Amino acid sequence: MKNRQSLHTIYYIPNPTSLRDGYIAITSAIMISLLVMAITFSVSLTGYFARFNTLTTEFKEISSFLAEACVEKALLSLAANSNYAGNENITVNGRQCAIFPIEISGSDKIIKTKATVENAVTNLKVQAASVNLSITSWEELPNL
């Protein structure tokens, strides 16, 4: 009698789709990892650039205060001497601003100042009554 065990021997033939299951899992893991890295990278850059926006805002605020200080200096000089001509640079806390020549428009005097801090520029044009130096107009201009 033949060996019955040889009749019952089962050979394993792999299913072609079961071989792909591993590759699909690895590919999915790689794709998810890349997606998470891209999201992390973009959030990181957003915070990085937000820092520069905050810094630019701070520089603009400083240049604005500096230009206002020049206006106040010009008004003070006009109060002391009605013939004050402007056309000078002044230093406030180590930073400079410019007072342009005082212009006359009717009975008003026009004061123009410019302050630059890093790349932030503030140009002010202030109109004041010649009699009592009360301010009639105060505006920031893109250029002088």
3-24 tens-digit pLDDT:
555 555 666 666 655 556 677 7
Residue 122: pLDDT over 60: yes
Check: CATH 3.30.1300 for 31-141?
yes
How many Cβ atoms from other residues are within 10 Å of residue 73's Cβ? 18
Lowest mean pLDDT among 24-28, 107-111, 118-122: 24-28
Cβ neighbours of residue 56 under 8 Å, at least 6 residues apart?
A: 118, 119, 120
> What would the pLDDT profile of 24-38 be if each residue is shown by its tens digit?
778 888 999 999 998
| d(C-alpha 32, C-alpha 58), whole Å | 40
Question: pLDDT at position 25, please?
Answer: 78
Cα diameter, the chain: 134
Question: What residue ranges do the domains of the chain occupy?
Answer: 31-141
Question: pLDDT at position 55, please?
Answer: 82
> Amino acid identity of 129?
A
**What residue spans of 14-136 are helical by DSSP H?**
16-80
**Residue 94 backbone zone (phi > 0: left; psi -120 to 50: alpha; other: beta):** left
Q: How far is CA 102 from CA 34, 125, 131, in A?
A: 62, 10, 15
CB 3, CB 9: distance < 8 Å = no
Cα Rg of the chain, angstroms = 37
